[in-house]
Amino acid sequence: MTTNATARGQQTELAFGGGHEAAIKQAFVNATMTDIDLFSSYGMADKAIELCVQLLERVPHHIGGNEKLLDLYLGSGNDAGVAEVANRLEPLLRA
């Protein structure tokens, strides 16, 4: 049985590959996701969205980043953004 943590670990390996560059990219993702959560929790949705967009420019297939951006767009009423992210996220979740 594949656990959620195992699936995310496999996603990370597929997204980043291996080696030093992958470790740097993973550190960037971790730090950015933490900042997104922080800004979101303080009601700074615009800044959180901006960081999500920056994250996804660098790692477009990151499921967690796409899910977070989808949540932020839902909360802000950005219907066009919701549709865009949902269309991008659907094939990622089916893979």
Here the tokens at position 85 are: 């992210």
Q: What is the pLDDT of residues 24-77, one digit of tens each?
A: 999 999 999 999 999 999 999 999 999 999 999 999 999 999 999 999 999 999
Residue 91 is classified by DSSP as H
| This prediction's pTM | 0.78
Query: Does 2 or 44 have the greater pLDDT score?
Result: 44
Band (20; pLDDT cuts 50, 70, 90)? confident
Dist CA 1 CA 93 (whole Å)? 17
**Predicted local confidence at residue 93, as pLDDT:** 92
Q: Give the burial class of 20: count Cβ atoms within 10 A of its Cβ; 0-12 exposed, 13-18 middle, 19 or more buried.
A: exposed
| Residue that has been written with the tokens 């550190």 in this structure | 27
